Structure 1
Amino acid sequence: MRGAGEPWTGDDRSHNDFCHARWRRLQNRSTTQADYREAWYDAQCGGCRFWVALRGEIGLDYGACTGPSSPFDGRVRFEHDGCECFAARGDGWFG
């Protein structure tokens, strides 16, 4: 439990589960879609140079898009989502 004046860390399992269920409905690409392309597996948000992970437990799956050409610039995205503006990270890191 956090004290008064302490920043929110995103480490509340119940809250995070609720957010995850709500935010998954906003996905641009889902691996469960029938038309999901094989090439998209290697072009997911978590591997994009413009994806910045959130902090705390919720940051294990979510981050902010900072891609200036992306329609999702400035929005929270699921690490396994993606868009046409994907730019691979130079270090090969994911998530």
Structure 2
Amino acid sequence: NEIIYQEVALFKVPTESLYGEDIIENTVRKYNAKILEVTPVYTVIEKTGHEEEIDALFRQLREYGEVKQFTRSGRIAITKSSTEHFSDYLEALDKYHKE
């Protein structure tokens, strides 16, 4: 594949869900996510990865009833090609597929 792509997602969960059982903390580790901010009221979790990974983490956190807010970037991408302008790369790719 000639494109590297990722998404970024932020999850806001109640900080109290981090206390007691380690379910949320273990889930964050399992999905290789990061805790960005912890306040007495809420905790923000960041997950960078592919759509399927973010969806899986969302489903897992929702199972615990802990997602208060959720947002995602959508796919962001960069080419591996020596073509520096993404639009040029897409045009070349389109020509290739039409041939």
TM-score category, normalised to shorter length: under 0.3
TM-score under structure 2 length normalisation: 0.21
Asked which structure has the greater CA Rg, the reply is 2
- The structure that is strand-richer by fraction is 2
Structure with the bigger percentage of helix: 2
TM-score, structure 1 as length reference: 0.22
